[in-house]
Amino acid sequence: MMGITINQLGYRNKDTKTAVFAGENEGFKLISQENGEVVWEGETLISLDDAASGMTVSKLDFSEWQQPGTYYVKMNNGSQSEPFLIGEEVYEEAHQALLKAFYYFRCGMDLEEQYAGDWKHGKCHLTPAIVYGDETRKVDAWGGWHDAGDYGKYVGPGAKAVADLLLAFECYPKAFARMVPLPETDGVMPDVLHECRYELDWMLRMQDNKSGGVFHKLTTLRFPSADTMPEDDTEELYVSPISATATGCFAGIMAMAARVYDRFDAAFASSCLIAAEAAWEWLTLHPEYPGFRNPSSIVTGEYGDKLDTDERYWAAAELYRTTGEARYHEAFQQLAEFSFDKYELGWADMGGYGTISYLMSEREREAGLAEQLQAGLQEEAGKLAAVCRQDGFGISLLPEQYIWGSNMVLLNQAMLLLIADRLGGTTAYERLVLDHIHYLFGMNAVGMSYVTGFGSKPIRHPHHRPSEGDGVDEPVPGLVSGGPNVGVQDEYAREHLTGKAPAAAFADVMESYSTNEVTIYWNSPAVFVLSHFV
């Protein structure tokens, strides 16, 4: 990073407005782009040797200036930032695009020009999938969202993505008043729920109607080449065996959906609850079940997970919140006694969703357990806040957390801070969350917006097969990149990023899938976080 990094989307009038300068303390000016007038002068805050970026950085704060317009920051040494906006609606278009991205991830239908614009393409992956290990049986599980830069579809990660979107709708319904629009837009049910239903319908097809268990994933045996369009990926499809983690996630998200959709489509809500209860029955009949591993001839994304206690915990919480049945409350209390992370929001650790559901529930709760979980949530938020105050860019990532999908970690933690505020009745963490948004859209060690199509310097070459193969210069808009990854886990990263500081270990190239891939469950927490500010 050189010079000054900013939130390239801009800043809301009354929000905290910060930028980061790579250098020692120095004076700066805020200048109107329109007429060159200096409207604000200040000094950078104390400089800091930032461990994550490996740089000495200084924070600029011009929060007191609230006049709408286009501005840039100029340091006394002559370096200056890109122009940026100050205004009330700087996040609306990005929020809309982050949500619209899920439409672009759709599998099994034509993405028509009316809705997809330049990024239109044909229907794909419509053939029934072979049940791995039972070659005589097939499952017609079309639809849903492609998971990432490839065309696999996975129940656990899909459940995490839908959970984030449904939570965003529950917490911030007004943020979804505007139509996307989508083919299903009807002016009655919000488009976020239409979009989630497309994934939920696919998940329902992934449930084994004999046992109630849920197949782990649906993929080809191996990934297609990097420029393959979805409709050209015609290899045989397979569903991998049932897993406890997929079944637990399925039970949790279906119980949640039953509650959210009830006032819009009671019949669909009822089908979700029936499916959730059947999955729960499978879980009770299989209290100890081996963790999922890829079958020997399948080399697509594994999403392996040895521990299913957190998924069961989430399922019990959602089933209790939706039905009020004592058996689910008892199961939740029993599962809460096990040792696992009860505040994590990742696809492998779903415990945070169970905790949030229980604490947000209107049902009667066990007072001691609720108090314990609330205290733990606030403690976790306090730890994240402490990291923010030590970080050069004001975010909650420790140097060792710049892993594959570090932007998901960043956004999950921003989500948790907002939920801690909500459940604590405070606004203590809102300012810190804004720095997470500033980081995502350019106030970071590489000076790029990590969202395609947004900002003055957005990523342009994500690891995303449709963006690579469609012949369109610009990538599909609204996709969140994985972000810096000190693990250098692809060939390009090993050659070009080895030895880089954690926050700088990023490459905007298709080949660097370990830093620049996109996924549905990196977009989903971004939608949640921006929903708070629109």
Q: What is the pLDDT of residues 286-320, one digit of tens each?
A: 999 999 999 999 999 999 999 999 999 999 999 99
User: Which tens digits make up the pLDDT trace of 16-48?
Assistant: 999 999 999 899 999 999 999 999 999 998 899
26-61 exposure pattern, b = at least 16 Cβ within 10 A, e = fewer:
eebbbbbeeeeeeebeeebeebbebebbebebbbbe
CA distance 504 to 486: 8
Neighbours of 114 (CB within 10 A): 9
Give catalytic residue positions. Answer: 150, 463, 508, 517
pLDDT given for residue 344 in this prediction: 98
CA distance 248 to 265: 24
Closest CA to 111 of 24, 4, 1, 229: 229
Domains in the chain, ordered, with CATH?
1-90 (2.60.40.10), 92-441+516-531 (1.50.10.10)
Which two three-digit tokens encode residue 189? 């049910």
From first to last of its 534 residues, what are the pLDDT tens digits of the chain? 568 999 999 999 999 999 999 999 899 999 999 999 999 999 998 899 999 999 999 999 999 999 999 999 999 999 999 999 999 999 999 999 999 999 999 999 999 999 999 999 999 999 999 999 998 999 999 999 999 999 999 999 999 999 999 999 999 999 999 999 999 999 999 999 999 999 999 999 999 999 999 999 999 999 999 999 999 999 999 999 999 999 999 999 999 999 999 999 999 999 999 999 999 999 999 999 999 999 999 999 999 999 999 999 999 999 999 999 999 999 999 999 999 999 999 999 999 999 999 999 999 999 999 999 999 999 999 999 999 999 999 999 999 999 999 999 999 999 999 999 999 999 999 999 999 999 999 999 999 999 999 999 999 999 999 999 999 999 999 999 999 999 999 999 999 999 999 999 999 999 999 999 999 999 999 999 999 999
Task: Enumerate residues 6+ apart whose C-beta is below 8 A from 86.
Answer: 10, 11, 12, 13, 17, 65, 66, 67, 68, 69, 70, 71
User: Across the beta sheet with 134-139, what order do the strands follow?
Assistant: 134-139, 129-131, 238-239, 217-219, 153-154
pTM for the full model?
Answer: 0.98
CA distance 237 to 130: 6
CA distance 48 to 179: 44
Task: Enumerate residues 6+ apart whose C-beta is below 8 A from 35.
Answer: none
